[in-house]
């Protein structure tokens, strides 16, 4: 699930980072509640991004780029415990610099000359908004038997809310 998940900052910087992060959420008109392993500076946030409209995907990209810069400005890491992977790989030059990320690619070429291991991930990543869970499609109502009152009767909204952590129950 795309979003801003699993960054880490030095614990001494956590308060300042969270204040700046809250301001960035507000600036983008987003909501999210940070939780995590604050003693270690590791932060998780579930943000209900609009990933089904072009404007929503553009906002997701801008927010991700600006938040990556914020994490780096606070001396942090884009991933605290779960690894970089596809969700953050495009942003790694902001943290490591272009030269080191280019070395990642050279290392991968040495050990994986045919490019079959994890293509499109760290060394030459896909754009962070390329493989989202949803595609930009016209919104059409779905006729179902259940009411989905928490989602204003919108079945598609209920599906989007289900992120694999029982949020949709």
Q: What are phi and psi of 160, to 5 degrees?
A: -65, -30
Element holding 43 (H helix, E strand): strand 42-47
The residue-averaged pLDDT of 10-36 equals 96
Q: Which residues contact 98 (CB under 8 A, 6 or more apart)?
A: none
Break the chain into its structural domains and give their ranges: 5-134, 138-169
The yes-or-no verdict on residue 3 having pLDDT over 70 is: no
Strand partners of residue 35: 44
The residue-averaged pLDDT of 129-154 equals 71
SS3 33: strand
Q: Which residues contact 70 (CB under 8 A, 6 or more apart)?
A: 17, 20, 21, 24
pLDDT tens by residue, 82-94:
888 778 899 999 9
pLDDT tens by residue, 41-82:
999 998 888 888 899 999 999 999 999 999 999 999 999 888
Give residue 136's pLDDT: 60
Give residue 2's pLDDT: 60
Say if residues 41 and 76 touch (Cβ distance below 8 Å): yes
Give residue 81's pLDDT: 87
pTM of the entire structure?
Answer: 0.80
Give residue 142's pLDDT: 65
Cβ burial of 117 (10 Å; 0-12, 13-18, 19+) is exposed
CATH 3.40.50.300 is the classification of domain 5-134? no
The yes-or-no verdict on residue 156 having pLDDT over 80 is: no
Integer Cα distance of 110 and 90 in angstroms: 21
Give residue 139's pLDDT: 63
Give residue 53's pLDDT: 85
What is the overall mean pLDDT for the chain? 86
- List b or e across 123-142, with b for residues whose CB sees 16 or more CB atoms inside 10 angstroms: bebeebeeebebeeeeeeee
Give residue 155's pLDDT: 72
Q: Extract the tokens encoding 101.
A: 């990320």
């Amino acid at each position: 699930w795309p979003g801003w998940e699993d960054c880490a900052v030095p614990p001494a910087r956590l308060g300042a980072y969270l204040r700046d992060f809250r301001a960035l959420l507000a600036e983008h008109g987003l909501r999210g509640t940070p939780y995590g392993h604050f003693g270690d500076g590791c932060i998780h946030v579930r943000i209900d991004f609009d990933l089904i409209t072009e404007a929503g995907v553009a906002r997701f990209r801008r927010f991700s780029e600006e938040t990556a810069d914020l994490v780096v400005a606070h001396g942090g890491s884009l991933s605290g415990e779960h690894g970089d992977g596809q969700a953050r790989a495009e942003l790694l030059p902001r943290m490591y610099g272009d030269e080191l990320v280019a070395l990642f690619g050279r290392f991968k070429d040495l050990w994986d000359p045919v490019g079959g291991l994890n293509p499109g991930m760290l060394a030459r990543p896909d754009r962070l908004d390329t493989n989202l869970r949803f595609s930009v499609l016209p919104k059409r109502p779905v006729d179902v038997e259940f009411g989905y009152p928490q989602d204003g009767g919108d079945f598609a909204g209920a599906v989007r809310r289900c992120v694999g952590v029982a949020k949709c129950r």
